[in-house]
Amino acid sequence: MTSGPRYPELAGTVAAVSGGASGIGEASVRALAEQGATVWMLDIDSAAVESTRASLLALGLDVNGIVCDVSDEASVVAAITRILAESGRLDTVHCNAAVTWTEPVSSTTLAGWKRVIDINLTGAFLLAKEAYLAMRTAGNGGSIIFTGSPHALRTIPESSAYSASKGGVAALMKALAIEAAPFGIRVNSVLPGAVDTPLLRSDAALSDDPEAMIRRWGASRPVGRIGKPDEIASVVAFLASEGASYMSGSEIMVDGGLYAYLGDGM
Ligand code: NAD
């Protein structure tokens, strides 16, 4: 079991995590399952869903897997319908699935733009909407957590469509937080800095020396290293817990101090 705070109130609750078969999502699935929640892992990659389920089972964590494309409304509706039918409730949803993008605006094709927006923004919208409707109908409150990105606030040219998608997620989170608040449903975002996942490594793989690139990203942060998926998942568990009962509409930066740092600017 991962060390860290215990949230007994999460035992017996039901959670869903998109992009749950890899990286930050997999860590979130594990963290919520370790807190005693029934967890549904939603991911488009069926082989990864099976292998992640098997590796978690080896740790004594029996999580459920659904192959789901968050950019497809019917797929998301079917996933939520199945969760409600089999688990009877839904308390926590982590809208986390996304793909990366590494082209400046000038070389971003319309097809590439649409893919990133469809998965990262429309996918977050579809899952959050269906979860919100289910939570509102049940009347027991709930916690909806988005994975945003510091790239929504400050960015680099190559991150064009990705940054735009995460800017949209930031605005969506705030709009839903206001709409859902009267129903006891809290809505927040976690904004991870560079975290060691397959997505980050695929970005690093575009450089001549990926390992050197990852070391450089780590060294550029005040804490001197990149993050681990568990260090984001622990914040997700906190946002799901009663410890965050007065938090809604918040963005939590988890980036090893990078956003606060002026670098060589002064
Ligand atoms: P990852 O590539 O390890 O995991 C992403 C998962 O999403 C994969 O399992 C993939 O199969 C799944 N996925 C992709 N398209 C999907 C779709 N259409 N429907 C359902 N699932 C789909 O990436 P990660 O680094 O763990 O990223 C998780 C989240 O964290 C993303 O929202 C990403 O933007 C965000 N993020 C990551 C970093 C980082 O440094 N790793 C930094 C900031 C934000």
174-225 residue pLDDT tens: 999 999 999 999 999 999 999 999 999 999 999 999 999 999 999 999 999 9
Residue 197 sits at φ, ψ, to 5 deg, of -140, 170
Q: Is the CB of 18 under 6 A from ligand 1?
A: yes
Region 100-105: mean pLDDT is 94
What pLDDT was estimated at residue 263? 81
Q: 8-192+228-251, which class in CATH?
A: alpha beta
Report yes or no: 162 and 149 within 8 Å, Cβ to Cβ. Answer: yes
What pLDDT was estimated at residue 209? 94
Give 256's pLDDT tier (boundaries 50, 70, 90): very high
pTM of the model: 0.98
**Tokens at residue 74, please?**
């019917």
CA 244 distance to own-chain centroid:
17
Give 3's pLDDT tier (boundaries 50, 70, 90): confident
Count the Cβ atoms, other than its own, within 10 Å of residue 9: 15
Question: Distance, CA 141 to ligand 1 centroid (Å)?
Answer: 26
Region 50-56: mean pLDDT is 98
162 has catalytic annotation: yes
Percentage of the chain with pLDDT > 90? Answer: 96
What is the residue extent of each domain of the chain? Answer: 8-192+228-251, 196-226
Residue nearest (by alpha carbon) to ligand 1 atom 10: 19
Region 33-52: mean pLDDT is 98
Long-range pairs, 162-165, Cβ under 8 A, ≥24 = 162/98, 162/100, 162/101, 162/102, 162/116, 162/120, 164/116, 164/117, 165/98, 165/101, 165/116, 165/117, 165/119, 165/120, 165/121
Q: Is the CB of 27 under 6 A from ligand 1?
A: no
Question: Distance, CA 253 to ligand 1 centroid (Å)?
Answer: 17
pLDDT score of 266 more than 70? no
Q: Is the CB of 69 under 6 A from ligand 1?
A: yes
* Alpha helix positions (H), 67-209: 73-87, 110-116, 123-138, 160-180, 198-204
- What CA–CA distance (Å, rounded) separates 197 from 228? 8
Per the residue annotation, which of 162, 246, 259, 261 is the catalytic one?
162
138-149 residue pLDDT tens: 999 999 999 999
Region 79-101: mean pLDDT is 98
Q: What is the ipTM of this complex?
A: 0.99
